[in-house]
Amino acid sequence: MKDITITVQQQKKELKYLIVSFLLAEAINLTTILCYRTEFKELYTKILTVLVVTVVIYFFILLVRFVVRRLILKK
């Protein structure tokens, strides 16, 4: 079997995408707190929901990157 290696640059790139996804999910959470005028303690009490949304956003970004890469390679 062939070994798969992930370089440090690839790991840093994926970590950046994950951090951006988390910040976007947290911004969505903050927006809903402000819109519905709820307590700010929901910033940390809803962290599990934020993490789930982070994973969803990350996989959406991953899907978009995959599609764009396929479209560019076909040309």
Condensed to tens digits (0 to 9), the pLDDT of residues 7-66 reads: 999 999 999 999 999 999 999 999 999 999 999 999 999 999 999 999 999 999 999 999
Query: Does residue 14 form part of some domain?
Result: yes
Consecutive H or E run containing 38: none
What pLDDT, on the 0 to 100 scale, is given for residue 40? 94
Name the band, by pLDDT with cuts 50, 70 and 90, for residue 2: confident
Query: Does residue 1 form part of some domain?
Result: no
Query: Does residue 30 form part of some domain?
Result: yes
Query: Does residue 2 form part of some domain?
Result: no
Domains in the chain, number:
1
What pLDDT, on the 0 to 100 scale, is given for residue 75? 61
- DSSP labels, 37-61: T--TTHHHHTHHHHHHHHHHHHHHH
Tokens of 44: 């940390």
Indicate if the pLDDT at residue 4 is higher than 90.
no
Q: Which domain holds residue 22?
A: 8-74
What pLDDT, on the 0 to 100 scale, is given for residue 58? 98
